[in-house]
Structure 1
Amino acid sequence: MQQKAQEILDQLLGAGQVAIQVDGDFVQGDKVEGDKVMGNKVIQNIVQIYREAGGRISDERLSQAVHNYAGWVMENYGRVPLRGLGDKEYDMPDPDLPAVYVSLMAQKEAGRWQEREAEPKPVDMSSLLSQGRRLVITGAPGSGKTTFLRHIAYMLARALYSGDDKPVRQYLNLTGDLPLPIYLSLGDYHRYRQNNGDGTLIDFISYTLFQQHGVYDLPKDFFAQMLSRDNTVCLLLDSLDEIPDETGRFQASNAVMQLSANRSIGQMLVASRDHAYVGRTMLTRPFRRFVVQPMQPEQIAALTKRWCEAVYPSHLAEKETQLLQDEIAALEAIRKAQGEEPLVETPLMVTIVAIVHYNNRKLPQQRAALYEKCVNALLAEQHKGEEGQGQSQLELEKRGGSIDSKRSRLALLAYEMMRSSGDKEAGRKTSLQQMQAWLLPAFERAEGADAAPAKFEAFRQAMCDRASILHERGGQYEFTHLTFQEFMCAYHLAVNMAPLEIAAFFQDEERVRQSWWREVILLTIGYLGKTAEDKCLKLIEAMLARSPDDATTLAAAELAAAGLLELEMAAPAAR
C-alpha cells in the first residue's frame, strides 16, 4: 500500500514521465519541456483562466501540474478492483472503469407544482450533466452513485490528460469548455469540520487535495481560483448519507448551498442514499433531484457480461456469462412466484451475486444470505478448480486468523463504528489507535494478553493487504462499502445478543428513526430469519412492544414490515 502510494506521489511530483493505460492504449505524458502538454488545448484553457485571475506561475509549470492532477484522478478512479476471486486476482489486471461501466437510468423528481403533469420519463445518467448545473443524485444502497461520480471524474480527467475531448463530449453530452473534475466525500468533509472546528467546502478542497492527496505541483490558491471562475470545475460531492446524524447532514447541505449560491461555480453534483435525503438535509432550488432507477434486465445482462469477461479466460467468459444470467433469472422467478420484489437490481447486488456465483455456483434468495456468502468468499479467498486446495488453501484461509475469527473481529469493528458514529474518529472511518482499543480486548480473551498484539497485527495486515472488505487510506481504516459495514454490524447483533437486547438497542437513542441504522435493522431481521426464525419473530414483536411513542412505533412497524418482506421462509403465510 505504501509503495503504491509513493509511486502515485512520484508521478504527481513530475518525476519523469507518467504513463497510464486506458482501454488498452497508452496515453503518454511528457516532461515539462515536451510539446504535448503545452500543446494540449484543453489544459491551456484552464491555464488561461487561472492566469487571468493573476496567478504568478509559469504556463509550463501550471500546464504540467494540471496534467499531473488529471493523471492522479485517472489513477485513483479509473480502475475497478477485482475482489473475492482468490489468488487469481494477482494475475488479473484490474479492468478500466469504462470497460465495465454500465450507465443506468434516473428519474427526475417532479416539482411541487408539477403533480398534475405527466410523470417525466427516466433519462440515461450519461446525459445528466446536460440537465442542469446543480443536481442531486439519490438511490438505493449500492445503486452505483459513487461509481457514476467517479466515472465522470475519470472521463473529464482523461480528456484533460490526453487532449482529446471528443469522447467525453459525446458520452456526457457536453458543450463549452471542459471543467476540471473534483471528487470529494461529504462524509470526509463532516469529519474535517469536527476535527478543525469549522471550515468551508473550499477550505476542505484545498486541504484534501494538497495535504491528504499530495497534489503539490499546483499553486496553493489554484482550486480556490478555479471555484471562483465561471464554469471551470465539475464538483462531484459524494456520500452525504455517510454523515451519521441529521444535524451533520444539514450542516453539510448548508455548506453546499452556500457554495452553490456563487453563480461562477461550475457543475455541482451531490449523491446520497434515498433514506438519508430527507427533511433539512434536502437541497432546495436551484438543485434538481434525480433518483437512480432499478436496473433493467438488459442492464443486468450487460454488467454480468462485462464482469465475466474481466474475470474468466476468454474461452470460458461466454459460457459463464450465460450460467450467471440463468441463475439470476431463476432466482428472480422464485421470488416473483412467492410475491417478493426483485433482489438483483443494483450494480452492487450484481457484483455480489457474481462473486457468490464464482465461488459457490448456487445463489441464495435473500439479501442477508447473499451478503454472508460474499463476505465468506472474501474472507476465505477461495479458489476454483485445483488451485489453492489442500494445505495451501488451509494456510490461505487462516491468514490473520480463522475465517470465523476474522468474521467475528470485523463484525465487532463494524458494530463499534456504527454505534460510535458521533465521535470524530468513527462512523465510516477510524484510526488504528481506536481500532486497537475496540478489538484488542477480544484478542486478549481469545489468545491471551501476551499473544494478542501480534494476533491483532496479523489480522490487520491480512484484511488490508487484500483490501476486499477493510482497507487503509491515509492512516484511516474503513470498510470498502458501507453495505459491508452494515451487514457485519447486523451479524454481530444477531450472533451475540438475544432478541430483547437487540430490540432495546434499536430503541435506544431512537435508532429505529435514524437513516444511519435502517439497513442494519433490516439486515439483522433478515439474518435471523435465515438462521433462527423464532428469534427473528421475537425480535420483531419486541421492537413493536418497546416503542415509547407513536412516531417511534410507526418507524419500528415500517422497519419490521420491510424486514419481514425480505425473509426467506418456507411459506409466504409465515411472512
Structure 2
Amino acid sequence: MTEKKQPSKKTTKLSRPEQEIQAGDQSIAVGGSVTDSAIIHGETIVLADRFWRDLKPALPAEKLREATAAYLAYLTDRHYYLSLKGMGVSDRVPLRLKLLDLYVPLKARLELPEGETWKRDISLAGRDIATEEQEMFNLGEPVPLLKVLQKHSGVIVLGDPGAGKTTFVKYLALRLARGEGKKIGLNDYLPIILPLAAFANAITSRDIRLDDFIAEYFEGIGADLPVGPMLKEALKAGRALILLDGLDEVRDISLRNTVVERVVDFFAFHRREGNKFVLTSRVVGYRSVRPSAEDLVECTIVDFEEDEIEEFVKYWTTALEKQAQGNTAVARADAETDRRELLDAIQQNPGVRQLASTPLLLTILALMKRQGVSLPERRVQLYDQYVNTLLSTWNRARSLSGRAPGRDIDELQTVRILAPLALWMHEVSPGVGLVGREDMRRKLEELFLERGDVSPHQAARQFLIDVREHAALLLERGPGEYGFIHLTFEEYLAAVALALLGQGNPAPIIEVLSAHVGEQAWREVTLLTIGYLGIRQQLPKVAGEVVEALVNNQPGPPGEAVVLAGDAVLDTWPGGVSPQNKEYVIQALIDTLQDGSIRPDLRRHAGLLLGRLGWRPGDLDRFAEISAGEYQAGIKKEAKEVPYNYFIGKYPITNIQFARFVKEDGYHTQEYWSHNGWEWRTGKFDARTLEAVAHDWLEHRPLAKRNIPYYWHNIELSNPIVPVVGVCWFEAEAYCNWLAKKIVAVPEGYTIRLPRDGEWEFASRSEDGREYPWGEGFDKTAANTWDSDTKGSGLGGTTAVCTFPAGVSPGGVWDMSGNVWEWTSSWYDEDKKYRVVRGGSWIGYQWFARSSFCNWSIPLMFNDDLGFRVVIAPKDL
C-alpha cells in the first residue's frame, strides 16, 4: 500500500497585523499624530516620580528624580524629530517632522533571511522553539516587531541598510521617554540607547564592562547630576530597556566577537531582574558572531509591502503640508494630491517600486518627488540624482555660511573628491564605512594634492569643517569617526570612482572587481560600477567587456562570478550592455544552473535570473509518454498496473504557462470551472458544506474573487520559469479544462487533466519501483528540498523547473522530487475531504520527496509550496 501521511489539525495562521497594536485595554494607532508640544521639564519630573515610585534606589531621592528628568528630557529632545540630515528640500525650508507622526510599524520574520537560514522547526538562537511560540508567531510569517519584543527578554533585529533598525530603537526610546510605554505594551521601562561601535572603540584601549561604559557614556547629559548611577539603579531594578544599535558597525571581526561576548554576559545577568534588550545589526557579517542565550530571539525585518508604503506616503504628505501650511483644509487637500501622485509614481514604475521597499529609500524617493525630480527606474540613476541633489543642498549651505561660490563648491569637483574617498573607505573598511578623523584628513590631503589644490592641508581641514557643520552625504557619525549618511551611497560613489578609474578602459576595473568576487561587501559596488559604465557614462561596450570578463575568468568561488554577471546584466538591461553580452551571460547561467558541483543557492539564483532575463526552456510545453505497465507502488512495493499509455508534463506548470490562462480570462470564464470551483471563484462557496476542516484556513486567507495566483506579488515565487504556487485544487482543475480546449492534437478518448495518484507515482518511480526518480538514496544535487542546501537549511524558495538534470526520471520527467507538492485528481480519503498531493517540496525534508510518499491537502489550500502538473490521459469514466 502507498505510504501516506495522516491528516492532522492545522495550526491556525495569524491574520495580517492591524494598524493598531493592542496592549491590554490600551490601543494606539502607531504612526498617527502625537501631541504638538515636547515634554516640558515639569512633565519629566512627573515621569521620573512615576518611574521610581515603587522602587527603593540607593541614590538620594531628589538627585535621582532630577537625573531621571534630565535624562528623559535629553532622549526626547534628541529623538523627537526624524533625522533628515543631508536630505534638505529645494525650497531651503528645514524639515522638522516628528518621528511619531511618520513612524510606520515594522514587521519581521523569526528567522534569518534567504541564504542564511536554518530549519524552521529546529531552533532559534540555539534553543528549541516552544509550541506556544510556534502558535503565536507561525514561523516564516511576518509579525509586528513590537509583538516579538513584548514576548521575549531580548530581540536581535536584523535588516538590510535602511530597513529601519535604528529608527525602531529611537521610536522605542522616544515612546518610553514620553511615558507612553503602556501604549506599546512595554510598561514603564527606562530606555538606554547606545551605539555598539562606541563601546567597541572603548574596549580597544581599556578593559571596561558594558555596565560601566553605559554610565560613562551618558555622564555628561545632566551636568553634575548622577545620570550614570541612575541608569545603574534602573538596571538593578529590572526596569531598563537596553537598545544596542549597530553590531555590524564594529569592523574588526575579533573585536566584534569580544563585543558580542560582553553583550551576552550583560544580557544573561540583567535579564533575570526583568530588563529587556534590543540589539540591531545588518545581516552581512552577523552569522559569524551570532549570540546565543536563553530567551534571546533573532528576527529579520521584512520589506515594506503595499499597505506599509501607502501608510508611509499618507503620513509623509500629511506631515509635510501641515508643517508648510498648518492644519488647514488647503493643507489637507494638497496632502491628498501629493499622496496620489507619489503613490502613482511608485506603483506604475517597477524600478521605483523596488526602491520603495525600505524606509530609507522610500524617504529618499519622497524627498526627490517633492523637489520635482522624475523618479527613474534604475538604482544607479536614482543614486546619481540623489547624490547630485544632496551635493547641491550641501554646497548651497556652505555658500550661505560665507563660503564664496566657485570651484571649491562645484558639484562635479566635489564628486571627484567624494568618489575616490568612498572607494578608499570601502577598501579599508568594507561593509562598515567608518574611518577615523586623522585617516580621513590624510586621505583628503592626498586627494586635494592630486587635484592640484594649492593648499591641500587647508582644503582638507575646511572640508572636514564643512562636513561637521553642513552634514550631507558625508557626516561625522561619532567622536572622531566619519562615514556616509548610508552605506548605499558609499557603495555608489565607490562605483563611480572605479568607473572613472577606467576612463573607458575596462582592464583596471576588471582587475579590482575580480579580486573581490564572492565578498558580500563588494557585491553592490560591482553591480553599480557596471551600471554606471553602461547607463550613466553610456559605455555599453565597456560595461559588456567587464561582464564577459567575469564570466570568462570566473574569479571567486565556483558560480559566483557568473551569477554576479547575470545580476549586472539584469540591472543594466536594456541599453547598459549589448544583446550579444546578454546572450553570452545567459548561456553561462544555463551551465551554472545545471552544474551539480556548484553551490545550490547559486544554482537557484541563476534560474531566477534566467527567468527574469527572458530565457525559457525550449521544451517547456512538452509531454513525456509513459507506456502501460506494472510498477511497484508504495513503501511495500506492491505490484500495481497502469493499463494504458498516457502523457505527463515534462515539468510542473510554471508561472509563464499559467499566465496564458490568466491573460485569456480563465478566471472569468465559467465553462472552465466545475460547479464547486465556480462557487469558490465567485465567493459563494461555503467551506462547511464540503470541506469543514478548511474553516480555520479560510478565516485567515482571502479566497473569494481572486483573479491571479495568491503569490504573484512575490518577485521570486512569481518568476516565469518556476512552478506556479498559491493555486488551490479548483484553479488547477480550471487550468486543465482551459488547456484541453487549446491543444487540438489530443488522442481520441483522452483529455487533459490532473494526474491520478497511480499515474503520478508510475511516472516518478518507473517499473523498478525506485526510491527517488533517479534511483536509490537521496542526492542533494538532484532536487530542491530542505536537505538540498550544503548547510541543510533549504534554498529559500522554488527553483527553475530545469535546474536538476540529475533528478530526471527514466521517462524524462523533471522535478518529480522536491520543489513543489503537486495536486492530483485522486481523493486521499473515503469521505472525499482531502486530495492526494505528491513529490515533496522546497520546505520539506528528503523523506517527503520519495516517489512512494503520499501526502494530502484540502482542495482549498494554496500554499507557497503547492503546485501541479498535467497529463494527457483517458477520460474519467
Deviates more, 1:440-449 or 1:216-225: 216-225
Distance in 1, Cα, partners of 2:361 & 2:427: 25
The question of 1:84 aligning with 2:94 is answered no
Q: CA deviation at 1:397?
A: 7.6
Distance in 1, Cα, partners of 2:167 & 2:451: 39
Distance in 1, Cα, partners of 2:525 & 2:307: 31
Task: Work out the percentage of aligned pairs sharing the same amino acid.
Answer: 25
Are the aligned partners of 1:503 and 1:539 in contact in 2 as well (CA < 8 Å)? yes
SS, match of residue 235 in structure 1: strand
Residues 464-499 of structure 1: per-residue CA shift (max 9 Å, x gap) = 333122223534333222222222222222222454
Q: For 2:190, give the aligned amino acid.
A: L
Are the aligned partners of 2:155 and 2:296 in contact in 1 as well (CA < 8 Å)? yes
Q: For 2:392, give the aligned amino acid.
A: A
| Structure-2 change in CA distance of 1:107 and 1:80 (3 Å) | same
The question of 1:433 aligning with 2:445 is answered no
> Where do 5+ consecutive residues of structure 2 fail to align?
1-32, 112-119, 124-128, 326-330, 583-612, 614-877
Which of 373, 394, 411 is residue 361 of structure 1 equivalent to? 373
SS, match of residue 39 in structure 2: strand
2:198 aligns to what?
188
Distance in 1, Cα, partners of 2:549 & 2:98: 48
The question of 1:464 aligning with 2:438 is answered no
1:270 aligns to what?
279
Q: For 1:430, give the aligned amino acid.
A: V
Distance in 1, Cα, partners of 2:472 & 2:307: 28
Are the aligned partners of 2:264 and 2:291 in contact in 1 as well (CA < 8 Å)? no
The question of 1:489 aligning with 2:498 is answered no
Deviates more, 1:36-45 or 1:122-131: 36-45
Distance in 2, Cα, partners of 1:215 & 1:547: 60
Deviates more, 1:358-367 or 1:105-114: 105-114
Distance in 2, Cα, partners of 1:500 & 1:210: 54
Q: CA deviation at 1:264?
A: 3.1
Deviates more, 1:532-541 or 1:101-110: 532-541
| Structure-2 change in CA distance of 1:456 and 1:296 (3 Å) | same
Q: For 1:130, give the aligned amino acid.
A: Q
2:65 aligns to what?
63
Q: CA deviation at 1:284?
A: 5.3
| Structure-2 change in CA distance of 1:540 and 1:104 (3 Å) | same
Distance in 1, Cα, partners of 2:293 & 2:543: 40
Distance in 2, Cα, partners of 1:465 & 1:112: 51
| Structure-2 change in CA distance of 1:379 and 1:571 (3 Å) | closer
1:525 aligns to what?
530
Bigger relative CO (Cα 8 Å, ≥ 6 apart)? 1
Q: CA deviation at 1:241?
A: 2.0
SS, match of residue 64 in structure 1: helix
Are the aligned partners of 1:399 and 1:462 in contact in 2 as well (CA < 8 Å)? no
| Structure-2 change in CA distance of 1:235 and 1:518 (3 Å) | farther
Provide the TM-score with structure 1 as the length reference: 0.78
Q: For 2:492, give the aligned amino acid.
A: F
- Number of equivalences: 509
Which of 479, 483, 499 is residue 478 of structure 1 equivalent to? 483
Distance in 1, Cα, partners of 2:94 & 2:108: 33
Q: For 1:188, give the aligned amino acid.
A: A
Which of 252, 255, 258 is residue 262 of structure 2 equivalent to? 255
Q: For 2:471, give the aligned amino acid.
A: A
1:169 aligns to what?
182
Q: CA deviation at 1:371?
A: 1.5
Q: For 1:364, give the aligned amino acid.
A: P
Distance in 1, Cα, partners of 2:558 & 2:507: 16
Whose Rg is larger?
A: 2
| Structure-2 change in CA distance of 1:128 and 1:215 (3 Å) | farther
Q: CA deviation at 1:232?
A: 1.8
Are the aligned partners of 1:378 and 1:468 in contact in 2 as well (CA < 8 Å)? yes
1:540 aligns to what?
547
Deviates more, 1:538-547 or 1:101-110: 538-547
1:10 aligns to what?
none
Which of 31, 37, 44 is residue 52 of structure 2 equivalent to? 44
Distance in 2, Cα, partners of 1:252 & 1:526: 37
The question of 1:179 aligning with 2:189 is answered yes
Are the aligned partners of 1:107 and 1:292 in contact in 2 as well (CA < 8 Å)? yes
The question of 1:150 aligning with 2:170 is answered yes
Distance in 2, Cα, partners of 1:226 & 1:137: 23
Distance in 2, Cα, partners of 1:180 & 1:382: 37
Distance in 2, Cα, partners of 1:537 & 1:414: 24
1:455 aligns to what?
459
SS, match of residue 419 in structure 1: helix
2:110 aligns to what?
108
Are the aligned partners of 2:44 and 2:72 in contact in 1 as well (CA < 8 Å)? no
Residues 496-543 of structure 1: per-residue CA shift (max 9 Å, x gap) = 2454433433454xx444443343333333333423333333333334
Which of 411, 414, 417 is residue 425 of structure 2 equivalent to? 417
Deviates more, 1:439-448 or 1:213-222: 213-222
Are the aligned partners of 1:366 and 1:566 in contact in 2 as well (CA < 8 Å)? yes
Are the aligned partners of 1:399 and 1:459 in contact in 2 as well (CA < 8 Å)? no
| Structure-2 change in CA distance of 1:570 and 1:513 (3 Å) | closer
Q: CA deviation at 1:282?
A: 5.1
Which of 303, 306, 321 is residue 294 of structure 1 equivalent to? 303
Q: CA deviation at 1:571?
A: 9.3
Which of 297, 301, 304 is residue 313 of structure 2 equivalent to? 304
SS, match of residue 192 in structure 2: strand
Are the aligned partners of 1:107 and 1:123 in contact in 2 as well (CA < 8 Å)? yes
1:320 aligns to what?
338
Distance in 2, Cα, partners of 1:351 & 1:296: 15
1:338 aligns to what?
none
SS, match of residue 188 in structure 1: helix
Higher helix share: 1
Give the 5 Å matches for 1:105-144.
105-109=107-111, 110-112=120-122, 119-144=139-164
Q: CA deviation at 1:276?
A: 2.8
SS, match of residue 284 in structure 2: helix
> Where do 5+ consecutive residues of structure 1 fail to align?
1-20, 160-164, 336-340
| Structure-2 change in CA distance of 1:69 and 1:514 (3 Å) | farther
Are the aligned partners of 1:355 and 1:377 in contact in 2 as well (CA < 8 Å)? no
Q: CA deviation at 1:68?
A: 0.7
1:11 aligns to what?
none
Q: CA deviation at 1:106?
A: 1.3
Residues 338-386 of structure 1: per-residue CA shift (max 9 Å, x gap) = xxx8332111111121222223431111222211211111111299xxx
The question of 1:218 aligning with 2:226 is answered yes
Residues 426-448 of structure 1: per-residue CA shift (max 9 Å, x gap) = 95433433222101122233343
Q: For 2:427, give the aligned amino acid.
A: R
1:16 aligns to what?
none
Are the aligned partners of 2:49 and 2:65 in contact in 1 as well (CA < 8 Å)? no
SS, match of residue 261 in structure 1: helix
SS, match of residue 274 in structure 1: coil
Residues 386-407 of structure 1: per-residue CA shift (max 9 Å, x gap) = xx9xx99xx9985852001112
Distance in 2, Cα, partners of 1:321 & 1:486: 31
Distance in 1, Cα, partners of 2:186 & 2:408: 49
2:76 aligns to what?
74
Distance in 2, Cα, partners of 1:506 & 1:201: 39
Distance in 2, Cα, partners of 1:436 & 1:303: 39
Distance in 1, Cα, partners of 2:273 & 2:60: 25
Distance in 1, Cα, partners of 2:83 & 2:44: 30
Distance in 2, Cα, partners of 1:400 & 1:22: 43
Deviates more, 1:216-225 or 1:270-279: 216-225
Distance in 2, Cα, partners of 1:282 & 1:380: 43
SS, match of residue 291 in structure 1: strand
Distance in 1, Cα, partners of 2:542 & 2:298: 40
| Structure-2 change in CA distance of 1:407 and 1:319 (3 Å) | same
